[in-house]
Amino acid sequence: MPDRPEIFGMPAEAGRWGLIALGLVINLCLGSIYSWSVFVTPLAAHFTATLGREVTAGEVLLPFSVFLAFFAIAMPLAGKYIERHGPRRVTIAGGLLTGLGWLLASTASSVEILYIVYGVIGGLGVGIAYGAPVAVAARWFPDRRGLAVGLTLLGFGFSAFITANAAEALIVMYGVMTTFAIFGAVLAAVLVLSALPLRFPPDGWRPVGWSPPAPGVGAVPVCECDRKAMLRTGTFYGLFLCYFIGCLAGLMAISIAKPVGTEVVAIDAGLATLLVGFFAIFNGLGRPAFGGITDRITPRVTAMLTFALIAAASILIWLAPGVPAYIIAFAVLWGCLGGWLAIAPAATASYFGTCDYPRCYGVVFLAYGAGAIAGPQVAGFVRAATGTYLGVFPLVAALAVAGFVIAWLMMRPVTPSP
């Protein structure tokens, strides 16, 4: 393999940005799960008509949770295969499985079948494919790792803004089940084609003119850890807990954004729907923004910044519920969730290196799955117990304070073994 590899016929320093663009497209497809709310009402109506009994929106929301759970489960399991078989093959396998989940959803005759064909199969597909473009970005950009990872993940955050509108139009024209089939075919095709150029750099490759900073100063780790070594460090548990808190707050905000708008601040349902799309922009932009900040001020300080913002946003809407506070608070909460989806992978590479990165980040990513399950459930519990969603926000603020302290104490570079 040549010392100075080329990508798309260009020197790697320039061509590597094309891999970032492909990673963005891949994540745009994988993030179509965030458009699920568009399917809830038409699916409930479809199954009510075909099954002869009322199917509630709550029942139709469960595939979303099943999908996210299997997404998180598959991430650590897929890590070793990315190393063994390369990012191209793993992304293709995950892409085909994702498309298959959507295609089979179009044939589901009950909500329970939808849990399996969409939630399990589709969730596994996204979990398998998700880590590969992130690992590619982390390895080709040792000099700008946070920004590269953030741009790669930008598509996942923006996906709801694009795919939700596409799904709504297709449902109107062709019906909800045909829309599943269209999504499945298109997603499989785009994911496979986008995966074909993905590859890792040669061992030891560095961008021309770049030298690693002193250990502990920049994005280069003090030591390279495999997964077992990572699990023996306090840094891992600090990062995991902080990632969990950041995702819990953000995914809770995603799950209750519209009902808080209509029930707490009394805005029109149509406006609330439009604002959800507006918040999705912040979710997408939060990834490259906080990724770039991570490169400049370290993962630890960036984590503390997000928790300060989460606490401030939560206190704002709790003490002064109104339309301005609602818009500001939810834009911040969605943006910080996007931020954590760039901070955590960049921090994993920064603290533990890239020699075993896919498997290491796969374990760290379990924090996202835990937050995805806990966030909406906690919000629902508070709503049922108090009759309002307002009680969610002081709880989130308290968790953010805890996250700030954990980041300050535990998110520190790993000390190499003597």
Domain positions in the chain are 10-206, 221-413
Task: Extract the tokens encoding 269.
Answer: 């349902």
Report the distance separating Cα 134 and Cα 148, nearest Å. 9
Q: What pLDDT score does 143 carry? A: 86
Torsion angle (degrees, nearest 10) of CA 121, 123, 128, 131: 170
> Is the CATH code 1.20.1250.20 the one for domain 10-206?
yes
Report the distance separating Cα 42 and Cα 178, nearest Å. 12
Q: What pLDDT score does 213 carry? A: 64
Report the distance separating Cα 366 and Cα 297, nearest Å. 25
- Identify the bridge partners of residue 6 per DSSP, sorted by sequence position: 11
Q: What CA–CA distances, in Å, run from 400 to 7, 211, 293, 344?
A: 42, 36, 19, 16
Backbone angles phi, psi at 390, to 5 degrees: -60, -35
Report the distance separating Cα 351 and Cα 216, nearest Å. 9
Each of the 418 residues of the chain gets a pLDDT tens digit; together they read 446 788 988 988 899 999 999 999 999 999 998 787 778 778 888 888 888 888 776 677 778 878 888 998 888 888 889 988 999 999 999 999 999 999 999 999 888 899 999 999 999 999 999 989 988 998 999 888 888 888 898 888 788 778 878 888 899 899 999 999 999 999 999 999 999 999 999 988 888 877 766 654 444 445 578 888 999 999 999 999 999 999 999 888 877 887 888 888 888 877 877 787 788 889 888 888 998 899 888 999 999 999 999 999 999 999 998 999 999 999 999 999 989 988 998 899 889 987 888 788 888 988 988 887 788 778 878 887 888 889 999 999 999 999 999 999 999 988 765 4
The 10 Å Cβ neighbour count of residue 237 is 13
Report the distance separating Cα 105 and Cα 113, nearest Å. 8
Backbone angles phi, psi at 198, to 5 degrees: -70, 135
Report the distance separating Cα 348 and Cα 354, nearest Å. 8
| Upper half-sphere CA count for residue 65 (Cβ side, 13 Å) | 14
Q: What pLDDT score does 3 carry? A: 61
Report the distance separating Cα 17 and Cα 2, nearest Å. 19
Task: Extract the tokens encoding 171.
Answer: 């449902």
10-206 against 221-413: fold identical:
yes
DSSP secondary structure, 92-120, as one string: HHHHHHHHHHHHHHTT-SSHHHHIIIIII
In contact, 338 and 27? CB cutoff 8 Å:
no
- Confirm whether pTM is higher than 0.85: no
Give which of 106, 101, 103 is closest to 125, Cα–Cα.
101
The 10 Å Cβ neighbour count of residue 134 is 29
Residues in the chain: 418
Burial class of 49 by CB neighbour count within 10 A (0 to 12, 13 to 18, 19+)? exposed
Task: Could you please state the CATH topology (level 3) that the domain comprising 221-413 is classified under.
Answer: Growth Hormone; Chain: A; (1.20.1250)
